[in-house]
Amino acid sequence: MTARKYVVGITDHMIGRPDLEAEVLGDDVEIDFFASTDETSFDPGRLARLDALMVWGARLGPKTINHLTRCKGVVRYGVGYEKIDLAALAAAGIPFANNPDYGTEEVADHALAMILSLHRRLWEHDERARGYSSGWQIHSLKPLSRSNRATVGVIGVGRIGTAVINRLKPFGFRILGYDPGQPPGHEKAIGYQRAERLDDVFSQSDIVTLHCPATVQTRGILNAEGLARLKHGTIVVNTARGELIEDLDALEAALRSGQVAAAAIDTLLHEPPGNHPLLEAWRNREDWLAGRLVITPHNAFYSDHAAIEMRTNAAKTVKLLFDEGRLRNRVTE
């Protein structure tokens, strides 16, 4: 039997064993499947054998990275990389790549479903209709505006933010986009109104949807200060990063006061969520919050097709590294 040329480690996996990755990588690659999100469980000897490492939910810190003595690259299955110590990888001379080119349609669809459902107050109607015993049609919730009378502020107009804008346009919403990283004229090509200042988005939007990464500039963007700058009665949607809304005390206060009319969140700072009073009110379907807070379990990215795409694209990134010596989607910050 011919010895295999490369060894690829996979820390953990969302779905089953990495058979699809093995198919993409080919017969000259041995896969070492750690099957754990616990970084402390990774055997140093196994790490030292790896020519590349693929990561899903595990953290990757200096202790692990110091053992990657043969590693030519680390690839994360997903888009975010908050759990990856990029400085330690850079110090070790190991390039890192994420996997941004999957699930765009799914996250955009998820965000749009949240936006439309909260704008039409569907969840709140559903919650309250359970108790109506008479006067069925008179129980319309107010205020309830037409879509072409409402403004949606999109913070982050990259792949997913653009896909959201393209989905919003047929409904007639006025669309503001804020993204200092996009070049002049991007708004003309996509079809939105560029906001030069974040405050313009906050002060003018009836709905704010977040599609930016968690950076020094964006962490806590809708904590107490940011929430206070919104129009009273704004709808907030976050399918991006939990770090963007870190302060659940502030979010609870904004929901109670009506500063935030409703919120839909797919990603939280701590997952699964703990026992914060706001989360307890959500779990217990407390009347004051009925239909006004929607939480999904960080699965906006998911569809059967996206799961295959995610695994295939990540494995192709590793294969390209071996075949051509270059790491696509490389992250250098």
Per-residue pLDDT of the chain (333 residues; tens, 9 = 90+): 456 799 999 999 767 788 899 999 999 999 999 999 999 999 999 999 999 999 998 999 999 999 999 999 999 998 888 899 999 999 999 999 999 888 899 999 999 999 999 999 999 999 999 999 888 989 999 999 999 999 999 999 999 999 999 999 999 999 999 999 999 999 999 999 999 999 999 999 999 999 999 889 999 999 999 999 999 999 999 999 999 999 999 999 999 999 999 999 999 999 999 999 999 999 999 999 999 999 999 999 999 999 899 999 999 999 999 999 999 999 987
Catalytic residues: 241, 271, 298
Query: Dihedral through CA 271, CA 273, CA 274, CA 277, nearest 10?
Result: 150
For the chain, give every domain's residue range.
6-102+304-331, 104-295
Supply the pTM of this predicted model. 0.89
Q: Which CATH class for the 104-295 domain?
A: alpha beta
Strand, helix or coil for residue 260: strand
6-102+304-331 and 104-295 have identical folds? yes
Q: Which residues are CB-neighbours of 231 under 8 A, at least 6 positions away?
A: 202, 203, 204, 205, 206
Q: Which residues are CB-neighbours of 90 under 8 A, at least 6 positions away?
A: none
Assigned superfamily of 6-102+304-331 = NAD(P)-binding Rossmann-like Domain (3.40.50.720)
Gap between the Cα atoms of 226 and 261, Å rounded: 15
